[in-house]
Structure 1
Amino acid sequence: MSDLRSELTESLDEAEWNWLIPHVDRDAVIVVAPQLNLVDVGMAIVNDHSASVQHWIAEGLIYKPSEQQKTDWNAHQDKRFHALIVQPYVLVQDSIAA
């Protein structure tokens, strides 16, 4: 388990909004609230911890980007996010908040 955590931690990166657009187009981007750790969320998804994931969804802590967010981000193509790929998803977190 710690090997997976290490792999995910090493996979954390930054991404500009324009790099994420193709993933948004295929409905694969998940926004993670700043109070959550991207690696923890990635671990829960990979390990199929559906109770944790469902709790975060219910609390609005992980969600698909809204149309308003996408519009705002399209206006600032250089906006940066912390990103973690957890197939088939791309988890993103505002780089200012994280």
Structure 2
Amino acid sequence: MRDIRAELAEILDEAEWDWLAPHARRDLVILVALGLDLVEVGTAIATDDTLQIQRWIDEALIQKPSPAQLSIWNQNQSKRFQALIVQPYVLVQETA
């Protein structure tokens, strides 16, 4: 059995907004709150842990970026994020 968490940890990387913007235009970017482990969220999505995912959504810990956030990021194309691809989504977390 493959270790999804380890696989996702290996592909976690930084990305600039200009690399992520095309995914946002296709409504595939999910913003993850700073307090969450991006790999943990990716693992929950990859393993279809709907209870945990719904809990995070209900607590507004994972969500689609707001139009205001997108506007700010589009004005700063070099803004950096931690990013993790979990098909079809791109999970992003603002860097501190």
Match of 2:54 in 1: 54
Count of matched residue pairs: 96
Task: Confirm whether residue 37 of structure 1 aligns to residue 60 of structure 2.
Answer: no
In the TM superposition, residue 22 of structure 1 has moved relative to its aligned partner by 0.7
Unaligned runs of 5+ in 1: none
Letter in 1 for 2:40: D
- Spell out, residue by residue over 1:47-75, the C-alpha distance to the aligned partner (whole angstroms, 9 max, x if none): 11000000000000000000000011111
Match of 1:18 in 2: 18
- Spell out, residue by residue over 1:64-87, the C-alpha distance to the aligned partner (whole angstroms, 9 max, x if none): 000000011111110000000000
Give the percent of matched residue pairs that are identical in Structure 1 and Structure 2: 59
Partners of 1:8 and 1:27 in 2: CA distance: 21
Letter in 2 for 1:70: L
- Spell out, residue by residue over 1:34-53, the C-alpha distance to the aligned partner (whole angstroms, 9 max, x if none): 00000100010011100000
TM-score by length of structure 2 reads 0.96
In the TM superposition, residue 2 of structure 1 has moved relative to its aligned partner by 6.8
**Runs of 4+ residues over 2 Å off in structure 1:** none
3-state DSSP of counterpart to 2:77: coil
Aligned CA-pair RMSD: 1.1
Partners of 2:6 and 2:20 in 1: CA distance: 24
Match of 2:93 in 1: 93
TM-score by length of structure 1 reads 0.94
In the TM superposition, residue 3 of structure 1 has moved relative to its aligned partner by 1.8
Partners of 2:81 and 2:37 in 1: CA distance: 13
